[in-house]
Structure 1
Amino acid sequence: MDLSLVALFLGLGMLAALATGLWVAVALFGVALAAMVLLVSAPTGAVLATTVWGASNSWDLTALPMFIWMGEILFRSKLSEDMFAGLAPWMRNLPGRLLHVNILGCGIFAAVSGSSAATTATIGKMSLPELVRRGYDERMAIGTLAGSGTLGLLIPPSIILIVYGAATEQSIARLFIAGVLPGAMLCALFMGYVVIWALLNPSKMPEKEPPVPFIERIKATRRLFPVIGLIAGVIGSIYAGLASPTEAAAIGVVLSLALSWSSGTLTRPNFIDALMGATRTSCMIAFILAGAAFMTVAMGFTGIPRELAGWIGSLGLSPIELLAALTLFFIVLGCFLDGISVVVLTTSVILPMVEQAGLDLIWFGIYLVLVVEMSQITPPVGFNLFVLQGMTGRNIFTVARMALPFFLLMIVAVALIVAVPGLALWLPQTMMSH
């Protein structure tokens, strides 16, 4: 059978399965099984068993449930309250004032959470009521939170970077280090936009509050020490070469339990809820990864990725043209699937052509996460939009309109890392060479 017809058959099968509301993992297994049984002479049962075992038996993936559990524990602590109190006094002189707390708060929480939805929910439940109470423009308050919440995908320890690293056999430590500068750049772009917006719209800003004495600011900053210590313990141990990502994740769980206990939020119900939440999320991701691994092997047997890479190569696209096409493809796909599903669904097909174009796979991982971040704030399946819809009661498309400027800033960020690959590669090359 012609491979283009095979690809069409499998693609339509996957779309039909997803359209019926079937779980992504079940859809992956179903389509891969159909391909193996109908199109390949290899023993399907043996391939399925060895592939699923190989995908599950990965030391790198051990970090995943630990980082998720750490985020679940902190989600139920007073961390967001402490961060708001510690950051707010320093932001009052900046144009945009406390709107910057949303951005910096999300950036800091992203460094101990790894999840976009958890970052948005944790910071939002504290900051949104406070900003609205103080008279800040609701559109900007929600928009900054929607955009900044996506930092949970990029700033390490990022769950999606662990998934990408496991799927592509890249170093998770290098991916984590590579995400630092792009994450800081995205924070700077968001804050720059808020500054410009505040200067152009002074009527939409509340009255200035009385200045906070310097000594009071210093006292308030002490409330940031626990989270800074947590970040230093987790990320610092990886960067210093003292711990692998998996060991750092275990350190993070211990430190977050200690932090929760010291703040009085480590109750029995909270502990059980955090453990069960982490178990559910980890099982979902592991199931998707196993399905994606089987799909990858099935695709390899049919020869589709190789032929597709050859076809793309015959078009004579430059790396920039290929990235432009992939960006559009990922944005459209992200409108209907969550970020992890986008990564695992596309990796096996995309990687051969990415390697053929001579793109660094560590750099491509950061590019991919940046593009997938956009899908968190695009309807109809933007997870951050769902979180904010639940918090504010606003229509999901209304929330999406509020987040639009930040979506456009993410496109600027993608253009910047394409133009200056060193933004993603300089830090891992420098730190890993010592």
Structure 2
Amino acid sequence: MTTKSSENLYTLDGRVPLFKALPFGLQHVLAMFVSNITPIIILANVVGIEKGVTASLIQNCMIIASIGTLIQLYPIWKIGSRLPIVMGLSFTFLSVAISIGTTQGMGTLMGAVIVGGIVEGLLGLCAKYWLKLIPHVVAATVVTSIGFSLLPIGANSFAGGVGASNFGAAENWIVGSVTLLVCLLTQIFAKGFLRSLSVLVGLVVGYILALCMGMVDFSGVMDCSIISLPTFLPFKPEFHVGPILSIIAIYLVSATETVGDTSALVNGALKRQIHKVEMGGAISCDGFVSSISGLFGCTPITSFSQNVGLASLSGVVNRFAIGTSAVVMLLGGIFPPFGRLLSTIPQAVLGGCTIMMFGSILFAGFGMMAKSGFSQRNMIITSLSLSVGLGFTSASKMFEIFPQIVQMIFAENCVAVVFLLAVILNLVLPKENSFSK
């Protein structure tokens, strides 16, 4: 019988005393907590979902994140990687989710999320047959485009939120700037664990400042039961081909992110190469749990890069320790007042936090490019994919000559354009040693 020991925190399957495991699990919750709830808050604000429903969605996304994390840690059949991965709502889908939600409604968005998740889940089960189509340079290009596509969303939140009566007002500038400054100073000057919580520290300070300035509305926070089960089907799913294809394209992009995250985790924290069965399990978990997420009114989930970095930094990879974080999220998700309290966070505070988070996605893309190498072939793949993807979608009216389904997938979705072009270029360009001939 294996003895419980604190030293087992640094092994995948060692037994760890609960009182030792819990603090390390909590730090993973704190590292991803803000990032997990922010996409649904931003989406709800832009689409115009009422506060009570928003609070319920926050509950649901916490519960879904906990379910996804537990399945990654303790797989069901071939679904899950058995790696110390923490799951949460993905920013990757935010721009296209806002587009679909505002134009065709949340029901259409949820229908696309459910179908797309099943597609990604099935792709994960047969990942060994197609992973070779997404080399590192393609993944790096896609991640960079995601960072660029999210910057306007962060800026709009910083100014008070799209459609806000005080958009761009002085109080939003003040709160957003202070939040961003605190995030930055914490990241630069804090040490150890506190540094990994720079976004949370900024959010707390920004929230307190907004509270002092009278920008926080607590009405309705306690107008609910203390304990409540998650809301199933808050939006009736509707299934339309255009949005489904658009979301599937982003699921493919999300799969490339998962490839990068899981590879980084295994290399950095476990000090070995990843196995194909682990990669396939991680992707299938992303997909199938994302379908469940759609049933609860939430956007898709994925592995969290910040938790990958935390595992590599701390060396804590024990599945039981990470599993305690999932249990904490699950318990937090069944208390409605907690979700409603979170929904009172002003958009300017979220904007101050997300500007830094979105910038970190850009930086991650640049880092992946550096690891891929700056060869002529990679330069062509990256530069052409980004210039066409970002440039063409910034002038989206140029797509009006194409059928509606093409417009839905590509006109305002630079990530889909970048992904498709990068994959095609990688397939058709001659190999590196042919460029000099």
Normalising by structure 2, we get a TM-score of 0.28
Higher relative contact order (CA 8 A, sep 6+): 2
Specify the structure having the higher radius of gyration (Cα). 1
- TM value normalised by structure 1: 0.28
Q: Which structure has more helix as a fraction of its residues?
A: 1
